[in-house]
Amino acid sequence: MPLPPFDDLLAQHAGLIHKIAWAYCRDAALRADVVQEITVQVWRACPRYDGRCQPLTWLYRIALNVAITCHRREERHRQRLQPLLADPVGAEVTVEHDDALRQLRAAIDGLSPLDRALVLLHLEGRDHATAAEVLGLSVSNVGTRLHRIKDRLRAVITAPD
């Protein structure tokens, strides 16, 4: 299948790119950087698209790889910094009003990058075969991982405080 023009590709899948960035980065400024980096990497990869997979699968792979790489880089950076005792600039703090949603987000944030990518694909409604192709796993491995992830998330959310 041929790759659509770059602008069309980005317009068709802008929501997906933002969801992937959000899944790996909660800070708005860093998330914008991740979206920009995904866009740059898609642009650079366009000449190498060979049509062996669907454009959406190809885009997923690039976006997930970029988001995971940025997430890992940010984690290493954050570990090197000493936490501040107070917010010196009075940055805006957002509060989760729905406790169940907050618990679910925290539980998903605690997953490995690969498992988080699998959850994202599942929440996007992608079938096991598509998730397997995007992540380079077998279809049975996707099913097994999803089952285990669901059990872990269920245990975290239903556990008494």
Residues of the chain within CATH 1.10.1740.10 domain(s) are: 1-85
The pLDDT tens digits of the residues spanning 64-116 come to 999 999 888 888 777 666 554 445 555 444 544 577 778 888 888 888 888 99
* Model pLDDT, residue 79: 67
Q: Report the percentage of the chain scoring pLDDT > 70.
A: 87
Average pLDDT over residues 20-36: 90
Residues of the chain with pLDDT > 90: what percent? Answer: 46
What SS3 state is found at 127? coil
* Contact call for residues 35 and 25 (beta carbons, < 8 A): no
The CATH code for residues 1-85 is 1.10.1740.10
Q: What CATH code is assigned to 96-161? A: 1.10.10.10
Given a contact cutoff of 8 angstroms between Cβ atoms, the answer to whether 61 and 121 are in contact is no
Lowest mean pLDDT: which of 23-37, 38-52, 94-108, 129-143?
A: 94-108
List every span in the chain annotated with CATH 1.10.10.10.
96-161
